[in-house]
Amino acid sequence: MNKDYYVVIMAGGIGSRFWPFSREKFPKQFHDVLGTGKTLLQQTAERYFNILPKENILVVTNKIYADLVKQQLPFMKDEQILSEPIARNTAPCVAYACYKIKQSNPNATMVVAPSDHVILKETEFESTIKIAMDAAAKSEKLITLGIKPSRPDTGYGYIQYIEENPDRIKKVKTFTEKPQLELAQKFLESGDFVWNAGIFIWNVNAIIKNFQKHLPEMAEIFEEGSGKYWSKEEETFISTAYSQCKNVSIDIGIMEKAEEVFVMLSDFGWSDLGTWKSLYELSNKDENSNVIEGNTMLYDVKNCIVKVPKEKLVVVEGLEDFIIAEFNDVLMICKKDHEQRVKDFVSDTKNKKDARFI
């Protein structure tokens, strides 16, 4: 187990595409979505137990979720939980973690991973991460993991790579975010595109060098915290730092601009579990291709996902290809093919200024 290896788990998102199950006070990463007995956050942390020391696991989250992180990952000390005062996308989140890690270990190599992904082939995932970390530790490569696409999905980002060597780690040519269906189909046919899994690997000096080059103002902000990380001064400093940061993703701010960007071709049963459709595809189905959770009676119902509370009876008749989801005080009934509108439902509810339902 390498003491220079770290993982930074990003657990601050709300997951609005998974509403009403994922809510502002209790986002999906803190739920046992697949009924495994462990939440998505717990499963994410456990994937690294054989790769690096538990004390090298850091979680970046909104400060309102810090107690949830402590409850679900009781092995973590307070200093391992990086509380963001406000949401500022992924670039400040990564910068915060990088500069904090570098202060305690200038030789660190790190993984940055979302907290809400599903990995079905855990052994293959572990092997992939170790190969990528070993490669990043010895170079200035910024590595992202790429998944061979199984369909022309318009909900994922795509990476085109250059086929210049027989290795699994390829030079990145282009990034394309959520293309239209026709373009996604062409990507599939070309054979040199993969889905962007949003899992990054690099050594701490390489990523900081790229912050200094491509996001110099942000680099300067977090460099001012030198000596304050891992101390009582950190919280006050971070509160000021985040108020000065612009809202930008690590993909746009760094990965699409940097020169030494590589993708590692991977196959470990990955899903970002970002939508109801992805949950439907991953879940066990009955003889009518329904995914069912809760106390239900179904009549002539096909290809639906029904996720409702156990304490009430839900009767459904004559529906096909629908999402029927109830959580706390919200019931949503929506065509599966229209699941992209879930974000609109959340936005419209916000406009009504009724925070109970968000």
Per-residue pLDDT of the chain (358 residues; tens, 9 = 90+): 889 999 999 998 887 888 988 888 889 899 888 888 999 999 999 999 999 999 999 999 999 999 999 999 999 999 999 999 998 899 999 999 999 999 999 999 999 999 989 999 999 999 999 999 999 999 999 999 999 887 877 778 889 888 877 788 999 998 988 878 888 888 887 778 888 899 999 999 999 999 999 999 999 999 999 999 999 999 999 999 999 999 999 999 999 999 999 999 999 988 888 788 888 988 889 999 999 999 999 999 999 999 998 899 999 999 999 999 998 889 999 999 888 888 889 889 888 877 788 8
254 & 283 share domain: no
| Exposed/middle/buried for residue 98 (C-beta within 10 Å: 0-12, 13-18, 19+) | buried
C-alpha dist (Å) from residue 280 to 124, 253, 303, 348, 357? 23, 33, 9, 25, 23
pLDDT of residue 351: 86
pLDDT of residue 254: 94
What is the rounded CA–CA span in Å between residue 129 and residue 304? Answer: 35
- Detail the DSSP E strand segments found in 289-329: 291-293, 296-299, 305-307, 314-317, 322-327
Query: For residue 353, what are the domain limits?
Result: 279-357
154 & 267 share domain: yes
* Domain termination site, one of 241, 271, 301: 271
223 & 326 share domain: no
CATH number, domain of 59, equals 3.90.550.10
pLDDT of residue 3: 93
234 & 305 share domain: no
What is the rounded CA–CA span in Å between residue 115 and residue 72? Answer: 12
Does residue 242 contact residue 234 with C-beta atoms inside 8 Å? no
219 & 253 share domain: yes
What phi and psi, each to the nearest 5 degrees, are found at residue 255? Answer: -60, -35
241 & 317 share domain: no
112 & 198 share domain: yes
240 & 315 share domain: no
pLDDT of residue 354: 75
89 & 174 share domain: yes
And the tokens for 82? 């990086």
265 & 299 share domain: no
Number of domains comprising the chain: 2
* Domain termination site, one of 206, 236, 271: 271
Question: What is the C-alpha radius of gyration for the chain, rounded to an integer number of angstroms?
Answer: 21
* Element of type H or E holding 147: strand 142-147
* Domain termination site, one of 239, 271, 303: 271
What is the rounded CA–CA span in Å between residue 195 and residue 232? Answer: 41
103 & 54 share domain: yes
C-alpha dist (Å) from residue 69 to 30, 48, 63? 8, 16, 10
User: What are the residues whose beta carbons fall under 8 Å from the beta carbon of 219, sequence distance 6 or more?
Assistant: 95, 208, 211, 212
131 & 198 share domain: yes
Residue 158 one-letter amino acid: Y
C-alpha dist (Å) from residue 85 to 64, 66, 128, 332? 9, 11, 33, 31
pLDDT of residue 148: 87
pLDDT of residue 299: 96
